[in-house]
Amino acid sequence: MSRVGVVGAGLGGLAAACTLAARGHRVTLFEKNDWLGGKAAVLNSHGFRFDMGPTILTVPRVLERIFAEAGRTMSDYLDLRRLDPQWRCFFESGAKGGLPENSVMDLIEDVPAMTASIARFDPASAKGYADFIAFSEQLHTISEKFFFWRSVESVLDTMDFKKNLELSTLREVMGLKMGTTVAGQIRRRVPDRRVQQMLDHFVQYVGSSPYGSPAVLCSIAHMQTEEGIWYPIGGTQAVPVALAALATDLGVDIRTGCGVRRVATEGGRAAGLETETGETLRFDRVVSNMDSVRTYNELVGGVPAATFNKRWQREPACSGVVLYLGLDRAYDHLLHHDFVFSRDPEEEFDWIYSKGEPAPDPSAYIAAPSRTEPGVAPPGGEALYVLVHTPYLRPHHDWSKMFPAYRQVILDKLKRTAGMGDIEERIVFEHHLTPQDIHDRYSVLNGAIYGLASHGRFFGAFKPGNRSRDLPGLYLAGGAAHPGPGMPMVLMSGWIAADSLDQDARANAPADPVHA
């Protein structure tokens, strides 16, 4: 078995460490921050508790599989609650397409029930919704077959050439509708602009524009309708806490407050890690949960970084501003998850993804977790989390100057569109994250929340593979590696990195000279 060093204890790093330890490898996990879980961090203050990063947990099957690797049952570590309706959507009057007044729509998990709900105001869109979910299911099935649970970097990695000529495979490839976009697939089925905008927002889970993302990402909708949205009691932070407990049970050596500054190489392969304190430790193989582009450029360098950079010139995904608002009142008309939509999605996405500036009329995501766990706020209060996507950091963006005005844009949007007219008077505690904070806290690429953007009609869904093509013995886990960002995908990326490493260690024992 190998001695493995893991750089970073985000969800991807923790998932990799647990899976490797469960398979008998000796794992040391290095985290530069003094908490585990990376973006899945928590903020406790003045009697309020906020998840600081991810709040929407989908596809819990991935997490279950990581516990199952070690012969454990996830429910012994985590108390997950299913949320349905999944989101409440708020739309503003006067929007493009002419809504006469503000309106509200709930996204219901059950597809026939949601279809019936849409049919009450637009039968054509109801049919279109059902058709879209059927299309999404088809794409999800193809993704499970060709794309998930293995290291993939390009379309060639998805194919088994012996089977390639089979008619069924060709039919599946045609079914991917390559060359078309998420927005295009939605608009050709659904006439109602509110339903369109609601469906568009599934690609916000990967921080990309529906107008630039390939149709295969329509599969995200079915992942959510099929397996639901879940809330871990204790907040999202309960997920890294559970994984850290599992890692500790499995003997992983966890070192917090210990940054890594270099991947040491020997004979053209990864052979160890140098910490920021100057200590060098030998490892047979290395997993990096640091952003993949920064891993190559800052930890590896030389020829591997040059070859990697030649293949990967993708833009970062979007960043965001998060407000953590402790309120002295609850807004009972909110659900646990809410979206407050912009008036014009095309214009909004153009600002964020093309112009590279914050949208003047943004969409906001709100979490009001006291609906499910009242203890997150003092009695009668609300621990409100508000996230607005922004462009990734550009050189001229100085968020210390931009934040005050944009905070007001966000609060005005909530007042106008989501019935929260008195919100400013109700704030008794406040904290925030800007793109610069996200950049500094999590060592990401240009403040990107979701790794690399998924833009590109043909190959936008592909990300750097989990088994490095550029440096043998290096494996990548996290949102900027395959299969991409979001909790279920980064957990899967950790599993794939570990599985690839484990396969290589078993198949190629001489490559691990010390512990073969």
Ligand X SMILES: Cc1cc2nc3c(=O)[nH]c(=O)nc-3n(C[C@H](O)[C@H](O)[C@H](O)COP(=O)(O)OP(=O)(O)OC[C@H]3O[C@@H](n4cnc5c(N)ncnc54)[C@H](O)[C@@H]3O)c2cc1C
Q: Which residues bind ligand X (CB under 6 A)?
A: 7-13, 30-33, 38-40, 53-56, 259-260, 289-290, 320, 322, 387, 438, 442-443, 449-450, 478-479, 485-487, 490
Helix (H) or strand (E) holding 262: strand 260-266
Q: Least CB distance from residue 442 to ligand X, whole Å?
A: 4
Closer residue to ligand X, CB minimum distance, 125 or 236:
236
* Closer to ligand X by Cβ: residue 59 or 216: 59
CB-wise, 186 or 438, nearer to ligand X?
Answer: 438
Report in angstroms how near the CB of residue 318 gets to ligand X at its nearest.
10
Structure tokens at 448: 């990107």
Burial class (CB in 10 A: 0-12, 13-18, 19+), 187: middle
Shortest Å distance, C-beta 167 to ligand X: 36
Smallest gap from Cβ 414 to ligand X, in A, equals 17
Instruction: Phi first, then psi: give them for residue 420, nearest 5 degrees.
Output: -120, 50
Q: How far apart are CA 44 and CA 207, in angstroms?
A: 27
Half-sphere exposure of 121 toward its Cβ, with a 13 Å CA cutoff?
13
Output the six-digit token pair for 4: 């493995």
Helix (H) or strand (E) holding 406: helix 399-417
Torsion over CA of 460, 465, 471 and 474, rounded to 10 degrees? 140
Minimum CB distance to ligand X smaller for 60 or for 378? 60
CB atoms within 10 A of CB 311: 12
385-to-42, 144, 186, 316, 433 alpha-carbon distances in Å: 12, 32, 29, 24, 11
Q: Which residue has the tokens 């279809």?
A: 115
Minimum Å distance from CB 209 to ligand X? 17
Residue 107 Cβ vs ligand X, minimum distance, rounded to whole Å: 14
Backbone φ and ψ for 433, nearest 5 degrees, come out as: -125, 135
Neighbours of 131 (CB within 10 A): 14
Complex with ligand X: residue 418 or 491, whichever CB lies closer: 491
For residue 483, whether the previous peptide bond is cis, meaning omega lies within 30 degrees of 0, is yes
In the complex with ligand X, the residue whose CB is nearer, 13 or 465, is 13
Task: Please tell me the distance from the alpha carbon of residue 124 to that of residue 138, in angstroms, as a whole number.
Answer: 21
Q: Cβ 197 to ligand X, closest distance in Å?
A: 18
Q: What share of the chain is helix, strand, coil (3-state, %, to 5)?
A: 40, 20, 40
Q: Which residue, 212 or 486, is less far from ligand X as judged by CB?
A: 486
Contact 215, 184 (CB under 8 A): yes
Q: Which residue is listed with tokens 């190559």?
A: 296
Q: Is the dihedral of CA 458, 460, 465, 466 positive or negative?
A: negative
Which three-class secondary structure state does DSSP give residue 135? Answer: helix
Nearest CB to ligand X, comparing residues 378 and 473: 473
Min separation Cβ 504 and ligand X, Å: 21
Q: Which is nearer to ligand X, 250 or 387 (CB)?
A: 387
Instruction: Return the number of the residue (51 or 69) whose C-beta is nearest ligand X.
Output: 51
Report the DSSP beta bridge partners of residue 269: 266
Round to whole Å and give the CA distance between 454 and 436: 22
- Residue linked to tokens 């003092």: 378
Shortest reach from residue 155's CB to ligand X, in Å: 23
CA distance 423 to 485: 32
Return the number of the residue (470 or 512) whose C-beta is nearest ligand X. 470
How far is the C-alpha of 144 from the C-alpha of 59, rounded, in Å?
A: 12
What is the spatial distance between Cα 473 and Cα 326, in angstroms, rounded to a whole number?
46
The residue (of 187 and 432) whose beta carbon lies closer to ligand X is 432
* Minimum CB–partner distance for residue 288 and ligand X (Å): 8
CB of 320 to ligand X, least distance (A): 5
Shortest reach from residue 295's CB to ligand X, in Å: 8
